[in-house]
Structure 1
Amino acid sequence: MTPAVHFVGFRGEEYRSAVKVWGLPDFIHRWWDRRARREIAAHDTVIFAQGDWWQEPRRFNAQDLEG
């Protein structure tokens, strides 16, 4: 399985800047929630607009987008 790139919480100019560095994401998570955390595999790369992996996930899940 090929590792995927996940963007979490990006909007507007932040997104464009992240794409310049990391390339287009495979998945876009509107925010950090339990669903996003479940869908990330051990070898995937996760890029956060704010915060990090250890932040508390939101209580409600958002629909994810494919990049």
Structure 2
Amino acid sequence: MAGAIIHFVGFKDERYLSAVKVWGPPTYIHRGWDLRAQREIEEGDTVVFADGPADQEPRAKSFNDITE
């Protein structure tokens, strides 16, 4: 995929709109920081967390997917 890849992790409130103002719209949205999300990050990608530090450990149990 060409261009900058932006991952948003754990956003579920008005902070999402604030993050979009700063970083632009995300390429991927992850419900939480888990091993599956970590595997999808490649060198050069930007990861924006709603909560916690950038070096936090991912949780072993995967978050469920968003249902519509």
TM-score, normalised to structure 1, is 0.83
Identity, % of aligned pairs?
55
Shift of 1:63: 4.5
- Paired residues in the alignment total 65
Structure 2: any 5+ residue segments left out of the alignment?
A: none
Q: What's 1:37 paired with?
A: 38
Distance 1:48 1:10, change over 3 A: same
- Is 1:3 the equivalent of 2:12? no
- Largest Rg, 1 or 2: 2
> Alignment RMSD, CA only?
1.6
Give every structure 1 segment of 4 or more consecutive aligned residues whose post-TM-superposition deviation is greater than 2 Å. 62-65
